[in-house]
Structures are given as structure tokens and as C-alpha cells.
Structure 1
Amino acid sequence: MGQQLDDELKIYKRIEGTPQKYPGRKYVRSLLGFFDVSGPEDKHRCLVHPPLWESVLDFLFRNPVQRLPTPILAVILHRLFLALDYLHTEYIKADNIMFGSSDDSVSSDFENNEPQNPCPRKELNGRTIYTSRDLRMPKDLRAPVLCDLARP
């Protein structure tokens, strides 16, 4: 079974364990349950959610002018902001928002510096554990990316 699906299941279980007090919690898709199905080659995990209709994109294409009517857009945005507020309050924090970069020289500098100035490490139960090294500022920064939601 796929790691991505296992991670998604962990996130749903974490959400399920949070207090109901947040108004935006009900605007994040919930999980009713899950089960495994054995196929000829492998097992497949199935997540069970409350039924939904269609995506905003599909709804947009259904509309002849391909625009959302103002009242519908207002409801979508209001509920989306409530959902984001809930996620921000419970899960989003500064250390799981990371910047991207296309500056490969940061990695090259790290690789070239490592043989002369290795980062601290220790051996524990036959595994080598390395300390993180501070990297220099890249020449360009890309948009921030939300990550590590599956971690507490």
C-alpha cells in the first residue's frame, strides 16, 4: 500500500482527534473509515468519505459563462477561509512552511564543503545520525510550500 495514502490516513486521524470547537473544522473533508481490499498482486487501502458532488473547477465548467456567481463565490471563500484558519490554528506553523529554490549552487557548496569540514554525527544502534548544517542563502527563493502535516 502506498506511503502517500498512509500519510493521508494519519492526517485524517489527527484531524479527527482535534476539538470540534473550531468553526472551520467542518469545512475540511472528514474520514468515515477505511478498509483494505486484496487484489491479485497486492492489497489496496480504501478511504471512505462522506459523499461530495463535484469540484469547483467542474462546477465552473458547467456554468455557461465559466464564472462563479457572486453569492456562490462568497460562500466558497468564506468556508475556505474558515477551513484555512482551522488548519493554521492546529497544524500550520512556521517550521513546516519551507521555501523552494532553483539555486543548485547551495547543494554544490554543501557537497564541496563536506569532505573538508564534515558535519557532526554520531553512531547509534548501527546507524549514523547527522546534525543539520546551516546552508547559505540561495540566490533566488521560490514560493513557500506547506509540508510535514503528517508529523505532530
Structure 2
Amino acid sequence: MAHARTAAIEEQPLQSYHTRRYYPARIGQTFETDTGLLQNWDTDEKSSQYTTLKVSVQTGDAETLPITNKIGMLRRSKKYADKFDRPGPCFTRLARDIFEIDGPLGRHVCIAFKTQGASLRKMQEIFPNAQLPKLLVISLVHRLFFSVNWLHATCSVVHTDISPMNVLSEMEDEDCLKDIEISESYNPSAPIVDANGHPVYRSTELPAELSGVPILTDFGQMLPAERCTGDIWCMPDLYRAPEVLLKLRFGFPADMWSIGVMVNPELMEGRKLFDPVDRINNQYVLPLILAQYIGYLGPPPLEMIQKSPLFVTYFDKQEDFATTIPPGDEKDEFLRFIRKLLTWDPEARATTNEIHPDKWLMRRHEDMW
């Protein structure tokens, strides 16, 4: 069958793209693991379940690769999941298997996961103005705290990368996967083949399900609590906790900050709480984000200023957290909920145990506007 040759697709347009770094996987290919056989667009022959297979790229020093850290954190979390019976793993994307395969130019690490649905970012595209229904947000966030609490209290790790992109919705109906499998068997996808003969397939988009069950994923930036020192620059720009921004020692409260920023106004209002990017030069501006933090939270505590090696004060007009919830008891409860998560001082930020019984999260549905 002749392969299509068109414009670059998927990862090909990336500046860092080099054919030799990628494994030339093909649809229908079978991978042998220690626990069974995996086949593209087929089921795991041992467990008879659909499995998502991530094949890593080759780059740089293996000891410093994000994939190396991810594998370490996945193995660490799997050990605790097997040892203790907790609800957290039910809302966390753990590895079913980790193995290596031989590529044309070396070894590639592979990670097998249970197949899940679309991310919350993708789910937002279903709703007008990217605003998720309030009851759906409550369901997602309440369960997400089980995962985060387990990572913190049991695994003693900080995720550092919680965002709508890294929270998936649980796939409750696998019929769409079966449909794709049948379609591929009758009408196989034609890959784009590069000059070296490596195939690249277009992604097949899965439908976004309205599941209220979140699955926290992506362990590539996860850190053991003891390694969260002030010299580590981490967390996505829009979700970076103040203590990380100020190059102070951080810990579990950093994840709680990310969740607070994600809930309001992103999921609830469909907009970003902070915008630290210089649009002209397209770069992150530290003084700008400091000014925005001060505008929402007021000046940071004096002790944080004294400890930070980077802090320069930028004053701005103080504002309250914006929300479309009308004035009344529910709005007051909601603002108290957000203020527990979005604080300058990480020690004052609510933990997962403290936030679970929050009045707004536990509010009866019929009492909401």
C-alpha cells in the first residue's frame, strides 16, 4: 500500500523533532512484555482490557530525562498502591506495566496505562465559554482531592504539574475504542512516512465524556517532598505557587495552590486567573506575575519577602476573587473555599484533609443557584 506524503503532522513540526529519537511504531504491531502481549488497537491479551501504550523518545542523558523521573515516581506510587488499601489510586493514573523495547537506534522505555477519557481542558470545549457546570466541577474536585491526598500523605510526593491538561475524565464506556478498532481493521490509517521511512500517524480524537470521575496523570515533574528546595524551578507558568515563584522551599501546599487556580476562575468561569506572559515578546515576566499575585492577595507576609532571594514588590489595586455566583450564603462559602487554597503563605493553605469537609464542597445540590 502506498503511503501518503503530505505536510508535517503531529510531532514533526517541533524544533526538537528528530526521526532517530522516535520509535517507528505501526498500527497492528505487537509488543511483548513481562506480563503479556500488547497490540496497537487491540486488547491486552492477558487482561482482555484496552491499554494505552506510551513509547518514550531518546534524548540526552538518561539520568536527567523527565521519563526517568516519571518511571521512578510511577514505581514508587505503585509500591504504595499495592501495600496500602486507599481510595487515592482509584483517581490516579498508575502504570500497568513498564518495559523496554529495541528501536533502530537504541532502547525505548514503554509505559502501559489503563485507557482513560479526554482531559478537563478538552471537556471544556463542550461547554459555552469553556465553563463547566458547577456540580460537575464539585464532583471532579472532590474526588481529585482523594488522589492528591494519597500522593501527599502516603507516597510523600508533590505532583507540581496539576492543571486541566493533566486531569483526565474516567472512560466509563469503551464502545468508542471498539469502534476505532473495527474501523482500523476495515479501513487502515495511512501514515505519513518521512525521508527515513519512519511512519507518523494522525491522532484519533476520542469523544469527550461528561464523567465526574477525575484521573490525575503525568508524573514527569513529580518530586519527593524532601527534594522540594528553593533552587528548583517547576510548575506550569499559570499555576505556579508563590513559594516556588519566590524560590523558597515548597511542599504539598504547592499542589493545593494549583487546584485553587484551576477551579476558579478556569473551570468555573472559563478564563485564566493570572496572565504572566508578555504578548509582544511571548515570554514569561516574573515582575508581572508578582504584581498580579499582589493584586489578588495583597502584599505577601514580611517573612516571605525576607527569605526570598528574588522578591521585588509591585503594588497593584487589591481585588477580590471574581465569580458569577450571585451574592448570598453560597458565594460567601465559595469565596472562603478559594481563599483556603489561594494564600501567599503555604503553611496557611488548606490540606486535602482540611478541604474535604468544606461547606461549599458539601453543600446540597438543591441549595445551589
**TM-score bracket relative to the smaller structure:** 0.5 to 0.7
Tell me the amino acid that sits aligned with residue 68 of structure 2: D
1:138 aligns with 2:309: yes
Identity value in percent:
20
Question: What do the CA deviations read for 1:64-119 (whole angstroms, capped 9, x no partner)?
Answer: 3411112221111011111111111021476333344679xxxxxxxxxxxxxxxx
1:10 aligns with 2:72: yes
User: How many residues were matched structurally?
Assistant: 112
What CA RMSD, in Å, does the superposition of the two structures yield over aligned residues? 3.0
Give the equivalent residue in structure 2 for 1:62: 126
d(CA) in 2 for partners of 1:69, 1:102: 34
d(CA) in 2 for partners of 1:101, 1:83: 25
SS at match of 1:140: coil
d(CA) in 2 for partners of 1:76, 1:48: 24
SS at match of 2:85: coil
Give the equivalent residue in structure 2 for 1:126: none
d(CA) in 2 for partners of 1:57, 1:25: 22
d(CA) in 2 for partners of 1:68, 1:102: 32
- Deviation of 1:143 (Å): 9.9
Compare 75-84 and 48-57 and name the one that shifted more. 75-84
Give the equivalent residue in structure 2 for 1:107: none
Give the equivalent residue in structure 2 for 1:106: none
SS at match of 2:98: strand
CA gap 1:38/1:67 in 2 versus in 1, 3 angstroms: same
Give the equivalent residue in structure 2 for 1:132: none
d(CA) in 1 for partners of 2:118, 2:345: 28
d(CA) in 1 for partners of 2:126, 2:345: 31
- Deviation of 1:137 (Å): 5.1
Give the equivalent residue in structure 2 for 1:80: 144
Higher relative contact order (CA 8 A, sep 6+): 1
SS at match of 1:35: strand
d(CA) in 2 for partners of 1:137, 1:72: 38
Compare 47-56 and 12-21 and name the one that shifted more. 12-21
Checking the alignment, whether the CA contact within 8 Å between 1:101 and 1:138 is kept in structure 2 is no
Checking the alignment, whether the CA contact within 8 Å between 1:27 and 1:80 is kept in structure 2 is yes
Checking the alignment, whether the CA contact within 8 Å between 1:27 and 1:82 is kept in structure 2 is yes
Tell me the amino acid that sits aligned with residue 309 of structure 2: P
d(CA) in 1 for partners of 2:69, 2:226: 19
CA gap 1:67/1:137 in 2 versus in 1, 3 angstroms: closer
Give the equivalent residue in structure 1 for 2:229: 98
Tell me the amino acid that sits aligned with residue 16 of structure 1: K
Correspondences of 1:6-45 after superposition (within 5 Å): 6-18=68-80, 19-45=83-109
CA gap 1:94/1:31 in 2 versus in 1, 3 angstroms: closer
Q: TM-score, normalised by structure 2?
A: 0.27
Q: TM-score, normalised by structure 1?
A: 0.60
Checking the alignment, whether the CA contact within 8 Å between 1:36 and 1:45 is kept in structure 2 is yes
d(CA) in 1 for partners of 2:225, 2:103: 41
Checking the alignment, whether the CA contact within 8 Å between 2:88 and 2:146 is kept in structure 1 is yes
CA gap 1:95/1:38 in 2 versus in 1, 3 angstroms: closer
d(CA) in 2 for partners of 1:52, 1:143: 35
